[in-house]
Structure 1
Amino acid sequence: MYKILIVEDDLEMQKLLVDYLRQSGMEVMATDSPNTALEWIKSKGGFHLAVLDIMLPEMDGLELCQKMRKISDIPIIMSSARADISSKILGFERGADDYLAKSYEPIELVARINALLKRCSQNKSIKYGDLEIDVDRRKVNVEGYNVELTPAEFEILNLLIAHRGKPYSRESLMQAISSIAPDSSLRSIDTHIRNLRVKLGDDAKTPKYIQSIWGIGYKFCD
């Protein structure tokens, strides 16, 4: 069952979409608050896709999309009454995967969700040199051998490799990794990274996979 996040401040539209998606067999969580949506992604996780309206309180959907991209790689559909090409381009530049102009029928949204998730599911195996990650099955192979990772180690590795070359601070990793308790010490990130390197056969001094960035944190090697 797909778990969908909807961020829509038109409450009548929001209820219509929630009811229709649930009738289509999807689990749905909806809010009119961008900040609540960000908290849900950080704390609850497990979303397969998000539908974001552009005109929102607190921050617009474009800014929300950009912030979501820093902590999650789930597919994002932008929804807006503004159907001009510049709005669409801005949406894609901020990290959206699809753009749906209002007003649309809920059946079209369901079709877009199914099509987008089908495309994404075909690309859930990530390879980098001798390292391969099966995202759906949460399995990792190095040089053909299976490597057993803890949930936190897997989430850290998956996040870093999905955003290869982008440095993440300990604070950012702590917020993004749902398997780490919020009250944990920031140093627990160092412990998870150290254990992850050992399991991957990586060397902190001459890293193949995870590189320490002095004064910032960590990134996956370019």
Structure 2
Amino acid sequence: MVNVFVTGTDTEVGKTHISAALLHWAGQQGWRSAGFKPVAAGLDADGRNEDVQRLRAASSLPLTEAEVGPLQFQAACAPHIAAALEGRNIDMDGLVQQARALAARADVLVVEGVGGFCVPLGPQGDTADLALALAYPVVLVVGLRLGCISHALLTAEAIRARGLRLAGWVANTVDPQMSQLQANLDTLRNELQRRHQAPCLGVVPRLADTHPAATAAYLDGTALHQVLAP
């Protein structure tokens, strides 16, 4: 099986939404799936991070909250700033070790980044450095809204510049009223395939039901089998 690193064209484009769907889909194949959110910023009144909770619930392996989200910070802001506010450091080497330990127990590990692809994590580097240290193929979540073509192509270039493989991408509809949505989607399909040989793994509409099963119904099972079980 192949583990994946999920990144996005920006923050709030649905990385957790898609990561949870990938975990659910993998579980439906009978695979042991595990979600991993190495760094999470923003806790609710009960001291919990919503993204970590969603990944944990979507994993087919029984996991503790700390196994899914080892570093969780109170403030909902850039992670290096949130860490500094609490006087804590983000130990990237430690995160890599935790990811590998979890991967050893799973058939498929879905690692969700934070924000976009190059988000600072402190003196040790950024999220792109973390992805490189893990060396997993990258799945890009493209938020369908104005500007998404440039954002997607720039992110894909940054992924390739780090020596990582863009295994595929998922279109997630952020703005259902986006002008010329289908034409934008066609351009993304053509350009990401032509430039990076990256297939579209699914097109997810704006859903009222955000349960992972509902989202997973819009993923391309054939394409995912090629990515996760080559």
- TM-score, length-scaled by structure 2: 0.40
Look at both structures and tell me which one has the larger radius of gyration over its CA atoms.
1
> Higher strand share goes to which structure?
1
